[in-house]
Amino acid sequence: MATEDERYRQSSQFRLWSFSPTSLRELRNKTNDLAKQQIAPRFAADAQPEFLTPGEESTLVQFFTTELIRAAQFCELPTEIRSTAAVFFRRFYITNSVMTYPPTELLKTSLFFGCKAEGYYIRLAKLAEMFPNTTSEQILAGEFLLCQGIRFAFDVRHPFRALEGAILELRKRLPEEEGRIAKAHAMARDILKFSPLLTDAYFHYTPSQIMMASLLMVDKELVEILIPAGSRTGEDGDKHMGSNAEMREKIIRTIESCRSMMEKEPPQRMKEYWETPELVKSLKPLRKKLQKCRDTDRADLVALQRARREQATTKVKKPTGTVQSDGAVFGEAVDARDVKRRKLEGANDLFGPPL
Amino acid sequence: MALSPVVTTTSSAQNQNTENFQTLRAVSSPLKALASGSGQTSSNGTPKPALAPAPTGQTLAPTLDLAEQMNEEEKRKYVKGKKLGEGTYAVVFLGHLRSSPATRVAIKKIKVQKEYTEGMAPDAVRELKHLQELQHPNIISLLSVFSSKDQNLNLVLEYLPLGDLEMLIRDTDNVRYGAADIKAWMGMLTRAVWFCHENFVLHRDIKPNNLLIAADGEVKLADFGLARSFADPHRHMTSNVITRWYRPPELLFGARYYSGAVDVWSVGTVFAELILRAPYMPGNNELDQIKMICESIGTPTEDNWPGVTRLPEYTVPGQHPTRGRDWYEMRFGIVGTDGVDLLMKTLSLNPQKRITAREMLQHRWWHSEPKPTRKDDLPRKDESAGEDKMGMDLKRRPGMVADEDRGAKVARKLDFGQR
């Protein structure tokens, strides 16, 4: 097995953030269930709100991902950082529900932390200025939450450099077709900036598979040049040929399925669908529904963060025994939550709903 | 002979420490354990890592979000013990695996930095980002990360009880080592740096007290607080990295575009320090550092380094000829002709001519006599001293060049006084 594959399997992206479609679905269902269980007790038994379904949550996350992309473009952030922020945002909402933490806030936090993770130190205040009614504190309030939500995996592997590599290779192989390659390059890059971020491509496929799928969308023949059939005619005869052919078939099948996933969200969908007034309008009922069923205790990240900080500082003053039990050192997160809840009760909606 | 079922549940705990770590790492995705059932990791045909171990015992509170549950699960895998050290940047605790108390770990709790108002400190972000990705026998392994409820980051690192290379170098009264030992240590350091570069990561703070020693004598590169990924062309980087004594001339001249060669220079200065048992070029400030480089190695000029005079902060105190092989042989001869050759190649003024980590590994010195010492036979300090030292090393704010100057240099001067 190629060592490059082994190395990819050591990455946090593979270890922590790659799933089969089934397990991803299970995780999302579980997150949705847990959120409902937590929010339900806050309503009277006869006044239970209608909760979002996992499918509706996904739609909202998708919508807010386009908002994030637009915000990043507005702030003129480089492509890689924009993509990292989008991936962080989507990872966060696999283990956290949209009903628990407000996506409008996490979106800005993802942008800020995306910059930091990529070593691009934008001033917090400068970023806050870019958004209406946004303070530095608001952006920062969700930072730790986001980091925990993404399992402290800050390195995201994108397909952009892979594309540059493939294009160099194609230029070498097809020196007389510069125009065609340049065109494919530009189109594939546009796809990579959008389609894998709006779909689950990053959760199911490797960066090189995503890159190949984007090329497949624009010029199938180029992929055939890069992954030629039976070109590896080894000297050891048919035995290796057989397994190579099998492997190739598997690779092609994987790339094909990645392509069909990404084709659901081609880059033109941004203008023709996500940004249209009709779409924004059609999402209104869903957002209304969200406002009615969300976790009011945790919708205000700033207050939540303050309560946590306060609690942490009071906790530090506790007497330090000679031998501390684990419980004392690590704390019991459950009663922590209760304290915070009590503190926040009655402060509901002080800051109004987001947006 | 039937064993009690109670005993068999802990059978994995009887493995060697290292094996435990490997198991841990292989299943370190709690997401996968939670998403029960599905047999495959992803649809791309990559095999699923080894099965998750039995759950840690207690059932998790159902009131927690999935993200919180996973955090709790990581947290519960470890038991925190005594404090090994505390600094402004972090507190380091001894700890052990709950499932296997013999498997010790170091838990580094990063403090919230009050003076930094932009959230999580960049050094913590960099350290985490790179340690999550790099797994190699010569790089300190990150076993887990979790947050405690006061929102502090806890990094669970492998336990390296034998201190660092610096304390072996400094303890000239009690520690003796020779050419074969130097070769073994340099081999481990070079492999660590090669692996970083192979994964497109620059460490940017290589120095003896960032080289920690495991119980079996293996040297591990630690402190990735100044590390970064290789930059894309045209994206500049800061030149204010690497502790001064180990900083290459291109950074002293303010280069904004540089490569793995900056780390190789540091490796060269560590090599020289291992031989001399004192820092090779301990400059008092940046200008002094440049002066020392000019005197010890030679003045960078357009002849030996085309383009150097156009670097943003190029200034040289005077013209010194580049030192020849004889000069190095006189000072560093104990590592033999081949060793001297390798040293000279790591200390090339022109970064483009400097040997790469990969080329270093292919150098003939490793094959020439004497053979490197086996790691179990390497000189060592006793564990109690090493434990304190590990606490000190890990709690230090990563790459704080200025901080370093106040405290550490005074200590070093005292050290020299004893010689």
CATH of the domain at A146: 1.10.472.10
- Residue whose C-alpha is closest to residue A210's, from A270, A157, A154: A157
Based on the fold, state whether residues A64 and A172 are members of the same structural domain.
no
Same structural domain, A62 and A189: no
Check whether residue A144 and residue A246 sit in a common domain. Answer: no
Q: What percent of chain A has pLDDT over 90?
A: 66
Q: Kindly state whether residue A105 falls inside one of the protein's structural domains.
A: yes
Do A189 and A122 fall within a single domain? no
d(CA B147, CA B184): 37
Residue A246 within a domain: yes
Mean pLDDT of B160-181: 92
Q: Mean per-residue pLDDT for A258-263?
A: 97
What mean pLDDT comes out for the span A320-338? 43
Is B108 assigned to a binding site? Answer: yes
Instruction: Over range A78-91, report the average pLDDT.
Output: 97
Q: Is there a domain that residue A140 lies in?
A: yes
Q: Is A108 domain-assigned?
A: yes
d(CA A198, CA B171): 58
Task: State which residue of chain B sits closest to A210, comparing Cα positions.
Answer: B44
Q: What is the mean pLDDT of chain B?
A: 82
User: What three-state secondary structure class fits B417?
Assistant: helix
- Percent of chain B having pLDDT more than 70? 79
A136 within a domain of the structure (yes/no)? yes
Q: CATH: 1.10.580.10, 2.40.50.100, 1.10.510.10, 3.40.228.10. Which one for B165-395?
A: 1.10.510.10
Window A:238-267, CB contacts with B under 8 Å: 250, 254, 257
Are A139 and A188 part of one and the same domain? no
- Segment B316-364, tens digit of pLDDT: 998 999 999 999 999 999 999 999 999 999 999 999 999 999 999 999 9
**What residues of chain B lie within 8 A of the CB of A119, using their CB?**
122, 126, 228-229
A94 and A137 assigned to the same domain? yes
The C-alpha angle B256, A85, B193, rounded to 5 degrees, equals 45
Environment class of A75 (CB within 10 Å of its CB; exposed 0-12, middle 13-18, buried 19+) = middle
Nearest neighbour of B128 by CB, restricted to A17, A23, A154: A154
Best of A4, A106, A155, A168 to disrupt the B interface (most B CBs within 10 Å) is A155
- Among residues A150, A183, A214, the one where a domain terminates is A150
Least confident of A313-322, B324-333, B335-344, B370-379: A313-322
For residue A250, is it within any domain?
A: yes
- A176 and A146 belong to one structural domain: no
Q: Do B66 and A96 count as a contact with CB atoms less than 8 A apart?
A: yes
A204 is in which domain, residue-wise? 159-230+237-268
| B174-232 pLDDT, tens digit each | 999 999 999 999 999 999 999 999 999 999 999 999 999 999 999 999 999 999 999 98
Please indicate whether residue B246 or residue A318 has the higher confidence score (pLDDT): B246
Q: Same structural domain for residues A143 and A26?
A: yes
Whole-number Å distance between alpha carbons of A2 and A151: 28
Distance (Å, whole) CA B409 – CA B417? 12
Task: Evaluate if residue B2 carries a pLDDT over 50.
Answer: no
Binned at pLDDT 50, 70 and 90, residue A239 comes out as low
- Between A253 and A235, where is the model more confident? A253
d(CA B62, CA B68): 10
Mean pLDDT along residues B303-319: 94
Residues 6+ positions from B286 with CB-CB distance below 8 Å: B244, B252
Per-residue pLDDT of B381-396, as tens digits, reads 876 677 777 777 887 7
Q: Is A107:A63 a contact under the CB 8 Å cutoff? A: no
Which token pair is B229?
A: 């990924």
Domain termination site, one of A150, A182, A204: A150
Q: Same domain for A217 and A118?
A: no
Q: Does A143 touch chain B (CB under 8 A)?
A: yes
What pLDDT, on a 0 to 100 scale, did the predictor assign at position B112?
79
pLDDT at B399: 53
Question: Of B145, B166, B171, which Cα lies nearest the Cα of B157?
Answer: B145
Residues of chain B neighbouring A96 (CB-CB closer than 8 A): 65-67
pLDDT confidence of residue A300: 84
The tens digit of pLDDT for each residue in B94-133 reads 999 999 999 999 999 988 777 788 888 888 999 999 999 9
Is residue B89's pLDDT more than 90?
A: no
Query: From CA B277, how far away is CA B98, in angstroms rounded?
Result: 41
Annotated catalytic residue within B123, B181, B205, B223: B205
Q: How far apart are CA B394 and CA B386, in angstroms?
A: 12
Nearest to B43 among A96, A154, A254 (CB): A254
Residues of A in contact with B130 (CB under 8 A): 155
Tell me the two tokens of residue B6.
């109670």
Spatial separation of the C-alpha atoms in residues B273 and B280, rounded to whole Å? 5
B205 is catalytic: yes
Share of chain B above pLDDT 90, in %: 63
Q: B312 or A300: whose pLDDT is higher?
A: B312
Is residue A172 a part of any domain in this protein? yes
- B92 marked ligand binding residue: yes
Listed by start position, the domains of chain B span: 165-395
Per-residue confidence (pLDDT) for residue B387, from 0 to 100: 76
- pLDDT tier at A49, thresholds 50, 70, 90: confident
Select from A150, A171, A192 the last residue of a domain.
A150
**Contact assignment for A333 to B28 by CB distance below 8 Å:** no
Cα A305 to Cα A144, A145, A299, A311, A343, distances in angstroms: 9, 9, 11, 10, 12
Cβ separation A250–B31 shorter than 8 A: no
User: For chain A, how many structural domains are there in total?
Assistant: 2
For residue B397, what are the contacts with CB-CB under 8 A and spacing of at least 6? B87, B88, B89, B90, B123, B225, B403
Query: Do A282 and A326 meet the contact criterion of CB atoms below 8 Å apart?
Result: no
Judge if A144 and A44 occupy the same domain. yes
Q: What is the pLDDT of residue A70?
A: 95
Size of the A and B interface in Cβ pairs below 8 Å: 179
Tokens representing residue A93 in the block: 């909402």
Question: Is A322 domain-assigned?
Answer: no
Alpha-carbon gap: A183 to the closest alpha carbon of chain B (Å)? 22
